Each structure stands twice: as structure tokens, then as C-alpha cells.
Amino acid sequence: MYPMNKTLAILLFSAVLFSPFRIYAQPSEALGIVSAPLANVHEEPFPKSPLMTQVLMGDMVRILEKKDNHYLIAPPDQSGIQGWVQQEALIIPKGRGASYTSTERPRIVIAAPKAEVLILDKTGNHKVSLYAGTRLPVLEQQKDSYKIQFPDRSIALIDAASAIAIKSPDPVINTTRPEEIASTARRFQGVRHLAGGMTAQGIDEGGLIAVSYRIHGISISRELGDIKDKGVRVSKKELEPGDILVFSGEREGLYLGSGQFLQVARKGTVQIAAVYDRRHGNAFQYGIRIIGVGADEKKRPAQMTAEDILLAQARAAQLPLGKRIAYWGARFIGTPYDPDPLGLYVRTNRIVADEKVDCMYHVFRSAELAQTTTPGEAVEKALALRFRTQGKQKDGLVTNYAERFEYGEDMVFSGKWGKNITSDLGETKSITGSRGKETVDILPKNILATRTLQKQLQDGDIIYWVKDPKKRVVEEIVAHLSIVRVKSGKPYVIHAAGDKDRTNRPGGGVVKEVPFADYVRTMRFIGAFVTRFKQ
């Protein structure tokens, strides 16, 4: 059993860890809120000094120093950048702005490059422009607009089409799809180049990338060195929309898909270019993927402490069950395949054996972690789910693994592993059954290959791949198990892909994720069962 004495502290930590307004000041520092629609941050405290970056209305910044009518500030989420802004661009709130920046208040973020808002003023209504990435609290959502509040407490109306509800910056529960990043970035086409800029008034490569991600709740630095640390490298053939491209000379771009990317031409504008053009193709070095690769998300379960798992469970608890199952299934990607014919967890009488997994253990463990909120609860859930009856432990070891589910079809028909939705997804075919069943209905390969079926698959669906009856060894029907994860509207298969040890032939493999359609096209199985846990 996992120790649980630190549960409360970790859950409280989780609640504040991912706040988009989390910012800390040293005792000698003050906090300020940007009250102007846009404030330029200069290297020195005078207007003609080089522009370093920009900050937007509502941003909370650390004030480090005051000189004449300028403040030296450290902007949020910009990797230690410091620079000078005019005093009039900031207000210093009472009580450190706790009321205005409270994460309990609903917020919107401006998604259009530039949006006009109507300020409701006693002296007469008037308009002002706000810029993409601006995050402000919502007082009321109306049919076609939001009533929002400025840092100076002014009230304004903004067209709902220009803004979206702010997304959680937590990579576990942020559901941004890669193509959404690309679609947002496209809206900046034609904006002029401005070194240090990140708005429709002018923008550079770092600013375009940072604001495109910021709109979707993902904070990344405008500095390439920090982006490299945050993401993972991908090759040209692996590129997906939203990936950041790195060219020789540390030039950057944002990949749109189909070989196209956005660049910011110096002395030019934001424009589309082709990564396979000779000019760019020869200069291309690699891509950087940000979505889904936060530092804590790179850890596989075997590398996670009990506290790591507890924190991940607390964060994932905000997702629907199916997405939680897919989330935990994906955490195992890269884990070595368990070549032990019996299974390491069975041979060692353990519940938790995350260092090596086979297809059944991978499904077991992912579903157990997804349905519970603590590591200890996951163990209890395993004792209920893995066995035809009920698992028993003594001194931390399982004493009745002989009563476990050995065959995937028994999981399907037990009722413990969700609803059998096989017949709900498409036309089934009857094949010879086993162990008391004369026949069973499965989805044949030709039905699995259809788009109609694939569109019905959901995150967390469990696929039980069916062996050809002529190739059965011990009358087993199911030869392999996997978990579905849906990305960009397309289903993928996450599975422990490998071989067990055989005489004079060592087994091995790794947990992988592949497109469902590709897996079906090349698989050696004749069909599948599908179960789905109730959400």
C-alpha cells in the first residue's frame, strides 16, 4: 500500500500549481497589473531604447525598480526578461490584487489579433482596442457578448466571436488540439514584423509563437533556448500542426500542416512558406513539440513516485473517465514490453509492476489509475477488476493470482470492464467461441477499417483483438489488448507491442501509439471486441 500522509498537501499544491496568474514577488518587490491595452517593454527607460517584448492588459508583473516615470518589470511567462515600461501603463493594486486576479473568477482571452471593445462609461460609451492573448475577468456572459472588467474596474463589452473562455494551463486537462494552434497563428498573416513585438501592431517569430500558444492556455517563452527545454524534438517527417520549426541561424517558424509553415519575414510580414522549398528545406534543423510534453508528463509510471502519481491523479480527475484512461495509457508509451510468458506482475505476485508491461497489464493499470484518486485506491481497484472473484493480499503480495482474468474475452463478458459495445459500433460477425460459448459476435476487420466505425470510437475504449480460430493455442479468442486515444478527431491505438520469451528466442518490445486505421490495415487479427466504461 502506498503511504498517504502527504495527500492533502499535494492536492492543495495541485490547486495552485497551474494558475495562469501565479506570480511571486520578493519582499522588496511590488506587484503591478498592466492597465493599458498594450505596453512596450524597453531595454532602457526611454522610448527609443530597443524593444524587448510587450505586455498586455491584465498581465500581472513584478516591479523591480522605479526610475523617474518608468518601472523596471519582470513580465510573466517570459523566462526572466526584464525591461522598462512607462509608469502610466501599470496600476499597483491593494492587497496584491488578490480580488482581481483570483482564479475563481471566470475569464476570457482575446483570440482575434485585434478586437474592439465598448467601454461602458458614465461620461459616455467609447471604444478601445485590445490584443490577442489579453486575459480579463468576466462579469456576465450575454447572448453574443461578454461583459468584462478592466484592472481599473471599468466595465466593457466584447463580441463573443473575438474571445474564448480561458483554458487551463495544466497540460493534463488542457484539451487544445495541435491544429487549433495552427489555426490561431494563421490569423496573424499580414501583420508587419517588429522585433520584440507580439501583437497585431507588430510581431516577430518569438512573439507569434508565444501568443498563439498563450491564447490556448499554454505559456511558453519567446526565447528559443527555453522552448527547447520545454518541448521534445521531432524530425521533418514527424511534424504536426502547431510544432515549432527551428532553422539554421536560430530562425523559427510555426508549422501549419501539409508542408506549410508561418514565418515572419524581417522588414516584411507574417506569411506562409513551404518547409520543402529548397531555401527552407536546406536550412531546416528540427521541430519542437510542446503540446502534451510538459516535463512532468515525460515521466513514465515506473519513474513516478507515489506523490507524482497522486498529483497526476488529482489533476486528471477533472477529465471525463474515458480521457483519464487514455491519459494513463499514454503515460506508459516508451515503457519496455514484459517478455515474461506469465507476466512479471503475476510471477512476482505484485499489483504494481510498472517497470515492464504486457498488453493486459497495460490495460489493467491504466484503467485502475484512471478510476481512482490515490495510488492506494488504485491497488484496491486492481483487486476488484483483475480477478474473476476478488483479489486478496497478504503482506503486500497477491495470494490468489490463480483466480485472475487470463483471457481478454473473459474481461469482456464479466461486466467488470465496462459495457460491451461491440454490436453498437457496426455490423458484427459470428465466430466459433470457447469455454462454454458456442459462438461469439465480433467486429470483423472490414468493418473496423471503415470511417463510420472509427468516428464512433472514444477516448478510453478498450479494444480486444481477436485471433483467427484456426490459430488458437489454448482456445483463447482474444490475442491482444489496447486502449483508444482520439487526437485531432482520429482514433489511435496505445498498446504494449512486443513478443513473449520463447525457446531460444528472447522477446521484447515497447508501449507504442499508432493510428487505428494503420493498425487495422496491417494487423494479423480477424476482428475485435470493444468495451467502454460508463463516463
- For position 98, what pLDDT does the model report? 62
Range 307-315 average pLDDT: 90
Helices 359-370 and 375-385: angle between axes, nearest 10 degrees = 120
Please enumerate in sequence order all residues whose Cβ is within 8 A of that of 110, keeping only pairs 6 or more positions apart, or say none: 130, 131, 132, 133, 134, 135, 158, 162, 163, 215
Domain boundaries, the chain: 25-97, 107-165, 178-295, 302-532
For residue 3, name the pLDDT band (cuts at 50, 70, 90): very low
CA distances from 20 to 15, 177, 214, 458, 508 (A): 12, 19, 10, 30, 43
Report DSSP state, residue 191. Answer: P
Given a cut of 80, whether residue 331 has pLDDT beyond it is yes
For residue 26, name the pLDDT band (cuts at 50, 70, 90): low
Task: Determine the Cα–Cα distance for residues 36 and 220; give it in Å rounded to an integer.
Answer: 23
For residue 382, name the pLDDT band (cuts at 50, 70, 90): very high
* pLDDT tens, position by position, 66-102: 999 999 999 877 777 899 999 999 999 876 556 777 7
- For position 16, what pLDDT does the model report? 41
Task: Determine the Cα–Cα distance for residues 102 and 23; give it in Å rounded to an integer.
Answer: 12
- For position 10, what pLDDT does the model report? 43
Following DSSP, what letter does each residue of 85-105 receive, concatenated?
A: EEGGGEE--GGGGTTTT-TTS
For the domain covering 107-165, report its CATH number.
2.30.30.40
State pTM to two decimals: 0.67
Note the CATH architecture for domain 25-97.
Roll (2.30)
CA distances from 362 to 443, 486, 492 (A): 23, 18, 16
- Per cent of the chain over pLDDT 90 is 71
**Burial zone of 441 (CB within 10 Å; 0-12 exposed, 13-18 middle, 19+ buried):** middle
Task: Determine the Cα–Cα distance for residues 501 and 507; give it in Å rounded to an integer.
Answer: 4
For the domain covering 302-532, report its CATH number.
1.10.3670.10
Domain range 178-295, CATH class: alpha beta
Task: Determine the Cα–Cα distance for residues 48 and 81; give it in Å rounded to an integer.
Answer: 18
* pLDDT tens, position by position, 427-475: 999 999 888 889 999 999 999 999 999 999 999 999 999 999 888 888 7
* pLDDT tens, position by position, 100-109: 777 778 999 9
Q: Given this chain, do its domains 25-97 and 107-165 carry the same CATH topology?
A: yes
